[in-house]
Each structure stands twice: as structure tokens, then as C-alpha cells.
Structure 1
Amino acid sequence: MPSPSRPTGAHAPRAMIIDRAWRALGPGLESLSGPGGAPLTRTVKLIVLPLVIRPSLHPELAGDFLGPREAVHLEALIRETGARLEATAGWFTLLKKTRRALGIVAGNPQDLYFRLCFELATEHGAPSAGADGLARAALEEVADATGGRTVEALKEHLTDPARYARLDRELASAWASRAPAPADVPDAVAAAAAEVLEACGAPGAEKRSPAFTSMVDGAYGSLVGRALWADPGGVASDVWGRAELPTHLKLTTHQVPPRPEVGRGASTATLSAPLDRTVFERTFVVLQASALREQLPTVPELVRREVGRSCGPLGLCDESLRVAVVVGGRLAVGLDPLGSGDSVPRRTAAHRAVDARWQREASVLRARRMTTSPDPDGGPLAALADDLRTPWVAYMRRLWVRLHGRDVREAPLDDVASVWAVLDGVSRSVMMDHRARVRSALRALSATASYTETAEPRSA
């Protein structure tokens, strides 16, 4: 059984155990580590978890917190793989050097080469005589496999003025040919979404619930998405259950989703809201997030599909994923991490499960105290407490991104169990992100306090 999702008794965070075991390996891992010696986030995500710990083979190590016995097991796995990890670091250094010599600039080297370097280390050990040739061959193989599926290839593809103009005309045509918005949204949409969320919290009952299937068959996701184009006030109250919230739940910054544009650039730091993204931004995110680019269509095909997808209801093609947005929205607007009791929609088993996890978080407990004794200066902790009053904003944006990724990979949701896996996964991701931001704010406040104390003049 996986260990608990929160610390109890002698349980310790898995991330902390990984960090401790990694540092114990000693020097030789610099290219896979941060300045402080801890493994890089991508090192953990792309090497340590899937290739060393392998939670699928060791489910007892899959939890966020591990007991003493599991911690010993995890540390042993990392220690036993130490020589291979050091060889992996050596190969990564060599591949980066060879990459520069070949003039390759496309893609993130860590995403492209971390797993490859581990494979090279497994097969050949540390780089030795003849390693330069192996490195060059490996890089060429990766380049062939990605087939130009890079951000640079996207920029080049959309640089051509004639192609850009053609795509703009296709967007205009697709947007103009959308199905009309419905006069109203049936009450059955909200009722079915609530039934799905109730089934999500009933162990063993997920696949037996017909509600999700009926929502997909009835095209309820498309219905709600088309309604958002007309911004009927009924969507907020009839579907989400909270009339005071924006109809689109901040998936767009406009009153209604605008016609998508082709776009000429993108940055992860300045991405638009999901339904406001250009075709360039939508494709950019796909290329940035996909470690296995060889499984993606080519850039021209990706762009072509995004033109159609961006003009579809909720910015998605697959109906099961559109329905997941509707169900996820019903869940998100009813979340109450602060335990205020103010959530309006009928609370379901899914709401209770997610809220219970949130309300055990130390960062949330502190934020709850901030609601009664707020930071008079409106500091970072006060802002983080405010985030917990509107958890649906971060939740819906992250949910849409996950569903968009599945749409690109043509990975629909088949039943309530698969829906819950996505909805629950998003809630955990948002919670962990909030936890990290609280910790960062506390470190910053602590550093400021220490500096102030040191800088203050002292009397003799």
C-alpha cells in the first residue's frame, strides 16, 4: 500500500529522503544537481523516480510520505544506483559539449537527454574511449526522432508570411462556422456533474456510474462550451452553482472567449489564459511539455490541429475532455480549503475528499489563521491566503492544461475512474504548488527578519 499523503508519526517526505540519499552519493553528480547539491527537479522527474525508484514496481514508495522501512528501501535503491548515476552525469556533460560542437540549439537538453544518458550509462558505464562517437550518434538519433518537433521549428513554420495569412483565414473560417449557442443549459447538466462527483468519492463504484457516459453521449461539454460563447448568465448558476462567479471561471480574461489568433511568439512567464491563447502559444506549450516528442505529430500537423481545436467548445476536440471541464468546474467552485462553510454547490464525496486533504496542510492552517489576523501590510502570506478563497482559479487553469495535453495525445477519458484520476491529480498538484509558494514566502520573510535584526544598531 502507498504511504499516507501527509506525515504521521515517523513518516517523512519522500522528496526529503531523495535529497538526503542523493547528497550522500558524494561528488560527480554536478551536472544533474542544483547549486546547493540537491538533485534538479527534472533529475527527479526524469531519472530518479521513473528509472531508479520505479514506483510502478515498488508501490510502497509511491506516496508523498514514507515510513522508516520504506525510507531505508528508497535510500538503498539510490545508493545501489550511485555509480550509474555518476556515469549518467558524465554522459550528460559530454552530450552537452557535443551538442554545442554540432550547433544544435533546439529543445531543452535535460528533457531531451536525461533518460538517454541513463540508458548510455547502463549500457556503456562512464564515458571512455570512443564515447565522442557514441555521443554524436546518440544526438543524431534524437534529432531524427524529434523530427523537428521543437519551438525553433514552430517559429520557422510561422515565419512564412503566406502560411501565416492562410492560417489566419482558416481561423476566421472555423470561428465563423461554429455551432450556435443554446438558448439555455438544461438542469440535467449540473445534476449529472454532481452525480459523477459523488461517484468519484465512492470506492469501487466509479466504473458503475452511468452519469459520465450520459454526459458524453449528450454532448454536455459542447453544450456548456457553446453557451460560454454567448455568455448566458445561466451557466454560472445553473452549471457551476454559484451565480456570483464569472461564467468562464477565469479560463479567459474577456467577457466571452475571443476568436483565437495565430500569434508570433510565446513565453512560459507570460502565457495568456487558456481560452485566450494563440495557436502559437498552444503549440508552444505542447512542445515544451512533451518529453517524448517523437510521439507527437509534426509541427505543421500540430499547428493545423490547433487551429481547429482552438475554435472548438472549451478549446478542446474530444467530448469526454470537454465533459471533464464541466465536472471539474463543478468540483472547483465548491472547494473550501479554509473550512469557511461558504461553498454554495451541493457538496459531494469528491468535495469532501479534496477539502479534507487541503485542510490537513500546515500551509493551509496558517493561511486560515491569516483570515482572522491578516497581514496588515498585505504581504505574501496574505496574498496566499487570498488564493485559498478562490481555489477554483488555479484549479481550472491547471485542469484545462492537463486536458489539452490529453487532447493533443488523443487520450480521452473512458469512465468515472479515469476522470477522478485527473481531477484528483490536479487538486494534489495545485495543493503542492501552494505549499511550495508558502514555504518560499516564509523563507523570504525569515531572511528579511534576519537581515533587519543584524542591521539594527545595538547599544553598548
Structure 2
Amino acid sequence: MPSPSQPSTGERRPRAMVIDSAWRGLGPGPRALSGPGGAPLTRTVKLIVLPLIVRPALRPELAADFLDAREAEQLDALIRESGAVLEATAQWFALLKRTRRALGIVAGNPQDLYFQRCFELATEHGAPGSGADAVARAVLEDVVDASGGRTVEALKEHLADAARRARLDAELTAAWDGREAVPGAVDTGPAAEVLDACGAAGADAPAFAAMVRAGHGSLLGRALGAAHPADVWDRADVPPHLGLTAHRVPPRPEVGRSASTATLPAPLDRTLFERLFTVLQASPHRERLPTVPELVRREVGRSCAPLGLYDESLRVTVVLGGRLAVGLDPLGAGTSAAGSTAAHRIVNSRWRREASVLRARRMTVSPRPDPDGGVLNALAQDLRTPWAAYMRRLWVRLHGRDVRDAALPDAASAWGVLDGVARSVMMDHRARVRTALRALSAAAEPAAEPRSA
């Protein structure tokens, strides 16, 4: 018999929806691993639910994005059976955060650093009990030691030396002046062939390897460095650089000495410090990164390379991403002929099923003014230019791979990144719409009137 959170029909359900439903059925126990609305955090799903509970490698039937009724019931049961260990995981995470604050540790994202450690602690010890404070302190010290000084603080200290900054500035100038900027037309046509093959299940795309051999990514980077080539993406209404820079031509990188996630500039406009800041903040396995001096040394050359990347397979993936991005059409407006590949059809159809997108589509054709003062209208506007958020997130992800020397060997691995970024942007937009709706709902609720005696 199906569990209460699962339908009795034979319809296929999105795996994400099954996870969300099962998670909410756990109640308030794992609150520290949940968002304000009660759904599991994105990192909870990525770092705990999928790799440690679902384990798709051992259960390939649960690896698909859409599940049959039996598979959905199996997934639901796995999560519900893990309720006790997830509640204990949340308690360990709360304890580690309190201990972290007491020790004055500020480096890194606590979710990235501690989620999986907390699950291990919950599996081994259950909920925190006697001696848990000492265990938490030992785990935090172990994580700090494992980072090997690969922290934002270490980066800040390394770049604070005036002589070193002067030397790095000279190296940046030399590397920038030594670039090969080649103006001219850029042919992104082969990208459509790759995207069409990527969108077909199990299809191979030899054109990807051909694009890497021909240096299509380098050609685009060099053309953007010389001048804006015309009609790169077969769309006159988007800039050739797709928002990767706020300038007509990307500027020479500066050394920099500070960064804030709230005010980071466009990817190709970031300083050396800002580029490495995002890597050190986001990497859950910093012990695998080069040391800070080596990170800085390599980043000097990388920041001046075409598209700000060393590896050609990653540069080609920027070209593929650009071709995909200009054909994104969440609102179904049909304004671009660029979105004609199988990959576009997959991503656009998924996006158009989103409730937040359906509401935004109604808003774009409604003659009435936005009743909420513009909050939701601004979110609807984001769906008219989805390529901007997509390319920014794609570049950050590829840059992280470049720093870790993680090339993309074939079209399938490139498609995994491209599709993953599309999902990430979509989920981020969904979360922002939900936050806005909650805020508007709270503001609209009339103040409770006292009852008369």
C-alpha cells in the first residue's frame, strides 16, 4: 500500500518532488537541514539525501529525474526510515555551528564542511549526548587541519604583502599584454550539433571532441578580447559576452584584497582575490586544492587566458552553454530561433512546468499593474533574460573545475554540467519566488484584533 505522501496512481513523478514530500513528512526533527518553508535545503539533498541515503550508484532505478509509482514509494520509504538519523544529523549540525562560533572559526560554508560529517556522527553515535562537545571540537579541528591553510583568511594574508602584490601586478600586466586577441567572426554552429546529440538519451556527440581539437573555446575568448564580434549567437538582442563582463571588452584583472558574495562583479571582471575567494568558499574538499601560493600563481595565468579558463574542454563548454543560454525560453514567448535543439526542448519544457513560471507568464500578458509593488514583476523579468543568470553560474562552475584540473572528457560529461546548471538556476528562481510570496502573504495578513470580553 502506498505511503500517505505518495499517490496511488501509476503516473511518473519528479524525483525532487518525491524527496520534498517525504522530507516534509518527517516533521520538525531535521529543521536545521531544512529551508524556511520546510523543504530540504539544496545542499541537504546534494550532500546527504542523494549520496548517503538514496545512493543511486547502488540503486540505479532511483537515479532518474522521474520515477514510477513503485520507485517513488521506495524512495519515500528510504527517507522516512532515515528520519531518526536525519534528526540526529540536524542536532549534530546545530552543535557544530555553536562550537564553531565559540572557537571563532569563520572560514568556509558550514553546510559544505559539516553536513556529511554530521551524518557520520549521527550514524555512529545517534543524537549528541555525553561528551558530544568534545567530539564536536575534535571534528572542527580536524576539518581545519584538513584544509591545510587553504582558507580565505590565508589568501587575504598572502595578498597583504606589498612586495608580493607589486610582483603579482607586474605578472598580470605581462600576461595580459602577451595575449593573442584575434578579431573576427566566431562560428558557434557546431555547438548546435552537440546540444542536439546531448539531448538525445544515450547519444554520442563526436562533434564535442572536434570542437575541442579545433579550439572553438579559445577562438571565442580571443575574439571577445579583441572586440565584440557580431551575431555570435544568431541573436541581436544579447551581448556576445552574454553578461560575463560588464564592459565592451573584459578588463585586465587586478590583484584585489577583499570580496563579498553579495557584490561580486561579472565573472570576467573579478580580481584575483575574488576569483579564488569563490573557490575557497564553495569547495567542500579544500584539502584537494593546491596550496594558497600555488593557487595564486596559477590564477595569474588563468585570469588572462581566453574566457578566464585554462582547459579547452571547459572553454568549449562555455560555447555550448552560450548556445543553450540564448535559446532558453521559460515563458514560451518563442522570441528566439536559437532554441531548436533537443537540449533546449528538455530544459525549456522542464522550466515551463514550474508554477512560478506559469504565474510569471500570466503577469507578462496581464494589463493590470503588479499588485505587489514590483517584487514578483522583477522575478518575472528575470525569466525574459535567463541567459544572464545561466552563464554566470556556468562560468563559476567551470572555473572551479579548472582550478581542480577536472576537465570534461566527452559530450556526456559536458551535458551533465550544462543541465545541472539549468536545474540550479531554475531551483534558485523557484526559491526566490516562494520567499517573495511568503513575504507578501505575511504583509497582507491583517493584524489580529483582540477578542472582546
Tell me which interval the TM-score lies in, with the shorter structure as reference length: 0.7 to 0.9
Q: 1:18 to 1:265 in 2, by over 3 A?
A: farther
> Structure 1 residues 14-23 or 380-389, which shifts more?
14-23
List aligned pairs for 1:294-373, cutoff 5 A: 294-345=287-338, 347-373=340-366
SS of the counterpart of 1:232?
Answer: coil
Q: Given residue 439 of structure 1, which amino acid in structure 2 is its aligned partner?
A: R
Q: What is residue 429 of structure 1 aligned with on the other side?
A: 424
Q: What is residue 224 of structure 1 aligned with on the other side?
A: 220
Q: Quote the Cα distance in structure 1 between the aligned partners of 2:429 and 2:105.
A: 37
Q: Given residue 14 of structure 1, which amino acid in structure 2 is its aligned partner?
A: V
Q: What is residue 214 of structure 1 aligned with on the other side?
A: 210
Contact kept in structure 2, 1:286 and 1:405, CA below 8 Å: yes
Q: 1:297 to 1:21 in 2, by over 3 A?
A: farther
Q: Quote the Cα distance in structure 2 between the aligned partners of 1:105 and 1:183.
A: 45
Q: Deviations over 1:313-368 (max 9, x none)?
A: 11111011111111111121122222222204372222222222222222222222
Q: What is residue 3 of structure 2 aligned with on the other side?
A: none
Q: 1:51 to 1:21 in 2, by over 3 A?
A: farther
Q: C-alpha displacement at 1:425, in angstroms?
A: 1.6
Say if 2:23 is the partner of 1:19: yes
Q: C-alpha displacement at 1:94, in angstroms?
A: 4.6
Q: CA RMSD in A?
A: 2.9
Q: 1:71 to 1:256 in 2, by over 3 A?
A: same
Q: What is residue 261 of structure 1 aligned with on the other side?
A: 254
Contact kept in structure 1, 2:148 and 2:287, CA below 8 Å: yes
Q: C-alpha displacement at 1:45, in angstroms?
A: 3.5
Q: 1:441 to 1:99 in 2, by over 3 A?
A: closer
Q: What is residue 442 of structure 2 aligned with on the other side?
A: 447
Q: Given residue 26 of structure 2, which amino acid in structure 1 is its aligned partner?
A: W
- Give unpaired runs (5+ residues) of structure 1: 1-6
With the length of structure 1 as denominator, give the TM-score of the two structures.
0.85
Q: Given residue 21 of structure 1, which amino acid in structure 2 is its aligned partner?
A: G
Give the number of the structure whose residues are more often helix, by fraction: 1
What count of residue pairs does the alignment treat as equivalent? 437
SS of the counterpart of 1:52?
Answer: helix
SS of the counterpart of 1:404?
Answer: helix
Q: What is residue 140 of structure 2 aligned with on the other side?
A: 139
Q: Deviations over 1:271-304 (max 9, x none)?
A: 1111111111111101111111111111221122
Q: Quote the Cα distance in structure 2 between the aligned partners of 1:103 and 1:198.
A: 51
Contact kept in structure 2, 1:88 and 1:121, CA below 8 Å: yes
Q: Quote the Cα distance in structure 2 between the aligned partners of 1:168 and 1:295.
A: 27
Q: C-alpha displacement at 1:41, in angstroms?
A: 4.8
Q: C-alpha displacement at 1:163, in angstroms?
A: 1.6
Q: 1:108 to 1:202 in 2, by over 3 A?
A: closer
Q: C-alpha displacement at 1:32, in angstroms?
A: 4.5
With the length of structure 2 as denominator, give the TM-score of the two structures.
0.87
Q: 1:258 to 1:55 in 2, by over 3 A?
A: same
- Give unpaired runs (5+ residues) of structure 2: 1-8
Q: What is residue 74 of structure 1 aligned with on the other side?
A: 75
Q: Quote the Cα distance in structure 2 between the aligned partners of 1:319 and 1:382.
A: 39
Q: What is residue 184 of structure 1 aligned with on the other side?
A: 184
Q: Quote the Cα distance in structure 2 between the aligned partners of 1:233 and 1:108.
A: 39
Q: C-alpha displacement at 1:438, in angstroms?
A: 2.5
Q: Quote the Cα distance in structure 2 between the aligned partners of 1:302 and 1:103.
A: 25
> Structure 1 residues 145-154 or 104-113, which shifts more?
104-113
Q: What is residue 164 of structure 2 aligned with on the other side?
A: 163
Q: Deviations over 1:393-440 (max 9, x none)?
A: 111111111111111121111122122222122222222222222233
Q: Quote the Cα distance in structure 2 between the aligned partners of 1:167 and 1:291.
A: 28
Q: 1:229 to 1:40 in 2, by over 3 A?
A: closer
Contact kept in structure 2, 1:22 and 1:38, CA below 8 Å: no
Q: What is residue 200 of structure 2 aligned with on the other side?
A: 202
Percent identical pairs in the alignment equals 71
